Structure 1
Amino acid sequence: MIEASSTLDLELLRTFQVVAQTGSLAATAEIRHRTLSAISMQMKRLETELDVRLLERGSRGVSLTPSGEVLLREARELLRVHDTLVSRFSGERLSGRVRLGIPEDYARELLDDTLPQFMACYPGILLDVNTDTSGRLARALRKRQLDLAIVLDHATGLEGGETLWHPTPVWAGPIQGAIHREAVVPLAVHPEQCPYRHLAIEGLDSIQRPWRTVFTSTSIHAVEKAIETGMAIGVLDRERVTTAMRALDESDGLPPIRRCVARLHFAQAIDVASQPAVEALAQLLRERLHGRGPWQRDALSGRDTGQRPRA
């Protein structure tokens, strides 16, 4: 146990946080600009000071023990409070560049509140936001073209990540008509590497329903319009079903859709000067998106409409 006079070195906690994000001591050494042996010694020192095992070491890297998971949550909060306090009283502000990737489907909601709030709180940080399909965001993250990204967990190839919320994908069709009953189901979808496209095709193939794509766009609003006007049906987050659409299910002859998980992923290497800025944004995303995702503002304001107003 830690003696009463003992204090934790915050640099050990910063290193531990990076290890938790990357799952690799070698990647942490690169990010922290230290040798691999130095990083390993820091982690052993932290475990010794706390008298608890924090990491499980394996052939594919390291993972957190249950005690490590607890420490990670506490360390994030401690470092956030520390950095905010230093910034407030020293006159210094967080700086650096943060490259964030978000699925296009959630861009409007995040731009309504969360990201403007971050920019207002940290004017010294250069925020670079990229919207795309989850698959393409995952690829950009692996290429270190992004520092962190929110992605849905199908067809991305990413492992791990922090769970933010559980989207509810549903079949959506126009309010009038029965286009979903056609012999060959017409689909409005995003391009390849979109999890919802993957779920739609996977579901139809599972019940051997023929399908064809009649409308493909990177814009969620264009896909929604194609559904509203009766060109096609598609898979949308339930919150995006407008008053000009209706949700469809097995009673309409369509297959059930597998659930998704929206997760926050970090790049394996983040510029050390930008690390505090990246963590500041990650913390805000955790606070604002955990549980209900970008629809959290409805819950906070006492409104839970279950349906997004028509644009």
Structure 2
Amino acid sequence: MDSSDLQLDWLRAFVSVVDAGTLTAAAPLVHRSQSALSMQLKKLEQAVGAPVLTRDARHVALTATGRQLLPHARRILEAHAEAQQALRGPSVTGRVTLGVPDDYAVAYLAPVLRTFAARHPGVEISLICEQSTALLPRLHRAEIDLALVSRDRPGRGTLLFREPLVWVGAAAYEAWRREPLPVAVYEAGSRARKDALAALAMQRRAYRLVYNSSSLAGQIAAVESGLAVAVLTRCSVPPHLVQLDARHGLPSLPELEVAVVRSRASARSTAANAMEEQFTRTLAR
């Protein structure tokens, strides 16, 4: 094999890190350890003859060579997926309606949809972005076929991974120093809201609710303005906000169980079956 050949595993590692934003987030998407992923990137850069990424603990950025390589890498991986699909037999067709919260959409949906579209180009996808508390009733009413949600109870759907909850604040305002603690919360019934308030109650920390919103953008705006601290999924924290912990006087938080859940009405849908399989293949850890 020529030393300059670009192996699929190296290209898949490269694209996954670009899409996920960090090696930590990308590793489970390709079912590799961080060290294995780092080694694949190193081999790719040796084959290319130049760095393709600059990276640190918080984020990655494309180099000029990486920007040039990325569209080619995507096309190669898509062509490979299409070849695999062609060899499997008749293609899947139909329509699937998918639900996902904003924070999971940003962090996890892109690699799922990109691979799914390459494998099943005959499937039409409709996407609904709402919080889990809104998606679960819509599943029950068969308004959507499947959804990526935070579990509201054990055993619901197929568990894919656990997502940490973290406190966040804006360094310029240090809202976490105020008494009582000003808190921005998600909608009533939200697991993140319940867990945050339960943790504060257990710590016996005085707090007041100053902002309610079911929107991720709304939560981030409340923090950026110095209005409050908030609890977000770790995958959705913008790099300019501070992740807070015991050093800031705040209690630890549990992890959310993230699952893919199907509606009963979608049981015979081959498109929904294929989408559920793709979620599991891409995100299950």
TM-score range, shorter chain: 0.5 to 0.7
Equivalents in 2 of 1:82, 1:248: separation in Å?
45
Tell me by how many angstroms 1:158 deviates. Answer: 6.6
Answering whether residue 83 of structure 2 is matched by residue 85 of structure 1, we say no
Pairs aligned (count) = 202
- Specify the structure having the higher radius of gyration (Cα): 1
Tell me by how many angstroms 1:174 deviates. Answer: 1.0
**Greater displacement, 121-130 / 132-141:** 121-130
Answering whether residue 279 of structure 2 is matched by residue 281 of structure 1, we say no
1:276 aligned partner, one-letter code: T
1:171 aligned partner, one-letter code: W
Aligned counterpart for 1:267 among listed residues 263, 268, 276: 263
1:205 aligned partner, one-letter code: A
TM (norm. structure 2) is: 0.63
Equivalents in 2 of 1:258, 1:109: separation in Å?
19
- Secondary structure of 2:155's aligned partner: coil
2:279 aligned partner, one-letter code: L
Task: Describe how 1:135-284 pairs up with structure 2 within 5 A.
Answer: 135-153=133-151, 156-157=152-153, 159-270=155-266, 272=268, 275-284=269-278
1:191 aligned partner, one-letter code: E
Answering whether residue 124 of structure 2 is matched by residue 126 of structure 1, we say yes
- Secondary structure of 1:128's aligned partner: strand
Equivalents in 2 of 1:282, 1:118: separation in Å?
10
2:133 aligned partner, one-letter code: G
Tell me by how many angstroms 1:110 deviates. Answer: 4.2
Contact in 2 for aligned 1:134/1:193 (Cα 8 Å): no
Tell me by how many angstroms 1:213 deviates. Answer: 2.7
Render the CA deviation track for 1:229-251: whole Å, top value 9, x for unaligned: 32110111223333322111123
Equivalents in 1 of 2:109, 2:126: separation in Å?
13
Matched with 2:69 is: none
Contact in 2 for aligned 1:184/1:210 (Cα 8 Å): yes
Render the CA deviation track for 1:75-112: whole Å, top value 9, x for unaligned: xxxxxx9996221xxxxx32222121112212223453
Tell me by how many angstroms 1:167 deviates. Answer: 0.4
Equivalents in 1 of 2:185, 2:104: separation in Å?
15
Contact in 2 for aligned 1:100/1:130 (Cα 8 Å): yes
2:93 aligned partner, one-letter code: S
Tell me by how many angstroms 1:169 deviates. Answer: 0.9
Identity %: 28
2:88 aligned partner, one-letter code: L
Equivalents in 2 of 1:158, 1:84: separation in Å?
38
Equivalents in 2 of 1:84, 1:158: separation in Å?
38
Q: 1:238 to 1:125 in 2, by over 3 A?
A: same
Aligned counterpart for 2:113 among listed residues 87, 90, 115: 115
- Secondary structure of 1:197's aligned partner: helix
- Secondary structure of 1:193's aligned partner: coil
2:137 aligned partner, one-letter code: R
Render the CA deviation track for 1:200-252: whole Å, top value 9, x for unaligned: 12211222323333233333123123212321101112233333221111232
Contact in 2 for aligned 1:136/1:193 (Cα 8 Å): no
Q: 1:176 to 1:82 in 2, by over 3 A?
A: closer
Tell me by how many angstroms 1:120 deviates. Answer: 4.1
- Secondary structure of 1:254's aligned partner: coil
Contact in 1 for aligned 2:85/2:119 (Cα 8 Å): no
Tell me by how many angstroms 1:175 deviates. Answer: 1.8
- Secondary structure of 1:269's aligned partner: helix
Render the CA deviation track for 1:265-303: whole Å, top value 9, x for unaligned: 11223263xx21111111111122122xxxxxxxxxxxx
Render the CA deviation track for 1:166-206: whole Å, top value 9, x for unaligned: 10111111123431122222122322232212221221122
